[in-house]
């Protein structure tokens, strides 16, 4: 859950992934992907006081969901785009922005901001293996020259050193589905996700490999129907599918289908793709855990693991690191700080020019834990006020 304030020290007048309160003083805006904790304030009926830049897929969703936002600007992938804007003091500035794929959900991108020799990379949410990272030319070009990286630190903890690749997880899940649905045409799979969005890549793999449609509610379909990658993956007709991802916050264990409450529970196998519970996981271990009543947990993550984050930081050697996801819990926070400090020690030892990388200070964080943030309520529609996660506070 992003706790990023939306503002980068290097670029006053720009807000990224945060569009409420003080962010509305910004002149230009950027959206990395269409997950709710990155879209706070977009439902403002007055729209935004400047253009909102994003990937082509995000633009399709935003134009449909938030028609009151008048200036939606599409950025083509891997193409530097020069943008002029006035900062808060009215001074004309310019910045060149390039998007890179973030491999988190359809349309998700990282932003590379450059001006007068200042280079900043904002990852948004990302899942990047070392193999993919080494293939990306643009990353190679900025190695050693980034002033700051604003990074998705969701799993920056030694508890989550590594995760299986998304393809391995998807293959396993497809095998489990095939085995269960092979029993009879009455057997069904209930995919129980820990969050409403973020599993789109997995849905695509399931749909394509098994050539079966996945039942979702109209709420999710309202967003998915505009994403070309998701064409023919879903149906809102519950009777037309043996695979259900019809999200329901009330249905805690998924053992009853909300769309078909009469169905005999013994015909339902629940699959829970999760990352959080897979603490201390290693590649030699299984990625499947069987639970009671045919329920199965499979390790799946659309955020980078600790080792992927480490590879990324050591490869890029940024001068500063800002964490986009900071836990509210004091102990977890300290653990994250220790983990990233250890990584930065590693970067220092590899910096060729002898310069040091440092972690920006984040204090006053205890305040976050006092804020009562809840994300458990399913908004009825896109225009309903949705809850925003607390922004992390920083020492000035
Ligand atoms: Zn996300
Ligand atoms: Zn269903």
19-36: pLDDT as tens digits: 999 999 999 999 999 988
What residue spans define the domains of the chain? 14-160+303-370, 166-299
Predicted TM-score of the model (pTM): 0.86
Nearest-angstrom CA–CA distance, 190 and 230 = 19
Lowest mean pLDDT among 46-60, 106-120, 174-188, 252-266: 252-266
Decide which of 3.30.70.270, 3.40.630.40, 3.40.50.12650, 1.10.3470.10 is the CATH code for 166-299.
3.40.50.12650
Q: What angle do CA 299, 304, 306 make, to 5 degrees?
A: 95
Lowest mean pLDDT among 119-128, 178-187, 387-396: 387-396
115-161: pLDDT as tens digits: 999 999 999 999 999 999 999 999 999 999 999 999 999 999 889 99
* Separation of CA 197 and ligand 1 centre (Å): 8
- Ligand that comes closest to the CA of residue 154: 1
Q: Based on the number of CB atoms within 10 Å of its own CB, is 396 exposed (0-12), middle (13-18) or buried (19 or more)?
A: exposed
What does the pLDDT read at residue 297?
A: 95
pLDDT > 90: what percent of the chain? 58
What does the pLDDT read at residue 353?
A: 65
304-328: pLDDT as tens digits: 999 999 999 999 999 888 999 888 8
- Ligand that comes closest to the CA of residue 234: 2
49-94: pLDDT as tens digits: 999 999 999 998 899 889 999 999 999 999 999 999 987 778 899 9
* CATH top class, domain 14-160+303-370: alpha beta
Give residue for tokens 């910096």.
351
Residues with CB under 5 A from ligand 2 (ion): 215, 238, 244, 246, 259
* Separation of CA 105 and ligand 2 centre (Å): 22
Q: For 346-351, which contacts have Cβ atoms below 8 Å and span 24 or more sequence positions?
A: 346/310, 346/314, 347/313, 347/314, 347/317, 347/318, 350/314, 350/317, 351/144, 351/317
* Separation of CA 205 and ligand 1 centre (Å): 18
Q: What angle do CA 353, 358, 362 make, to 5 degrees?
A: 170
Average pLDDT over residues 93-100: 96
* Separation of CA 261 and ligand 2 centre (Å): 10
Largest CA distance in the chain: 68
What does the pLDDT read at residue 390?
A: 72
Using the predicted structure, report yes or no on whether residue 394 has a pLDDT greater than 60: no
What does the pLDDT read at residue 91?
A: 87
What does the pLDDT read at residue 78?
A: 92
């Amino acid at each position: 859950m992003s706790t990023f304030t939306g503002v980068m020290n290097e670029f006053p007048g720009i807000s990224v992934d945060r569009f409420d309160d003080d962010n509305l003083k910004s002149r230009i805006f950027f959206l990395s992907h269409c997950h709710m904790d990155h879209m706070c304030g977009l439902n403002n009926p007055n729209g935004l006081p400047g253009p909102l830049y994003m990937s082509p897929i995000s633009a399709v969703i935003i134009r449909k969901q938030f028609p009151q936002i008048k200036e939606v600007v599409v950025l083509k992938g891997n193409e530097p785009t020069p943008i002029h804007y006035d900062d808060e003091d009215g001074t004309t500035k310019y910045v060149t922005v390039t998007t890179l794929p973030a491999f988190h959900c359809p349309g998700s991108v990282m932003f590379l901001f450059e001006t007068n020799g200042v280079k900043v990379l904002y990852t948004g949410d990302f899942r990047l293996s070392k193999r993919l990272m080494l293939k990306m030319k643009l990353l190679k070009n900025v190695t050693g020259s980034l002033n700051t990286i604003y990074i998705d630190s969701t799993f920056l903890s030694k508890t989550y050193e590594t995760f299986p690749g998304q393809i391995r997880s998807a293959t396993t899940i497809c095998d489990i589905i095939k085995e269960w649905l092979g029993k009879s045409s009455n057997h069904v799979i209930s995919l129980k996700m820990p969050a409403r969005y973020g599993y789109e890549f997995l849905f695509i793999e399931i749909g394509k490999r098994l050539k079966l449609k996945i039942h979702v509610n109209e709420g999710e379909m309202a967003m998915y129907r505009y994403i070309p990658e998701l064409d023919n993956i879903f149906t809102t007709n519950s009777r037309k599918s043996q695979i259900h991802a019809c999200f329901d916050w009330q249905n805690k264990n998924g053992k009853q289908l909300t769309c078909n409450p009469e169905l005999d529970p013994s015909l339902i196998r629940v699959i829970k793709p999760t990352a959080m519970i897979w603490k201390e996981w290693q590649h030699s271990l299984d990625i499947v855990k069987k639970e009671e009543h045919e329920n199965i947990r499979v390790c799946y993550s659309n955020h980078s693991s600790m080792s992927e984050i480490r590879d990324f930081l050591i490869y890029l050697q940024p001068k500063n690191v800002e964490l986009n996801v900071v836990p509210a819990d004091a102990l977890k926070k300290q653990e994250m700080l220790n983990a990233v400090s250890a990584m930065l020690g590693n970067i220092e030892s590899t910096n060729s020019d002898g310069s040091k990388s440092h972690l920006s200070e984040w204090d006053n964080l205890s305040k976050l834990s006092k804020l009562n943030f809840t994300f458990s309520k399913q908004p009825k529609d896109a225009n309903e006020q949705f809850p925003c996660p607390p922004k992390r506070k920083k020492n000035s």
